[in-house]
Amino acid sequence: MVLYSVHLATPAELLPQARVDQALAIAEDARGFPGAVIVAGDFNNRDLVVRVFENADFTWITRDLGATLRFFCWDH
């Protein structure tokens, strides 16, 4: 099994495409491993998970958890 602990850049740090590029690099690297691969952490964008990781055939097990972002409350 391989585990990626991720904290992608925030929208204030990088433009959206640059954050997509970060996620694509992880998804591409993960393709090289046989067996289970877990990518967990703070993606700083729910749409990015769908766009990159679900399109790379990952299963999003926390999809129905709901938003964790609140005003002045991040990174839970």
pTM equals 0.79
Report the alpha-carbon distance of residue 60 to residue 12 in Å, rounded. 25
pLDDT at 74 over 70: no
Which single residue is written with the structure tokens 């998804």?
27
pLDDT at 73 over 70: no
Number of residues that make up the chain: 76
pLDDT at 75 over 60: no
DSSP code string of 39-60: EEEE-S-HHHIIIIIITTT---
Q: What is the pLDDT of residues 6-65, one digit of tens each?
A: 988 887 788 888 889 999 999 999 999 999 999 998 887 778 777 899 999 999 888 887
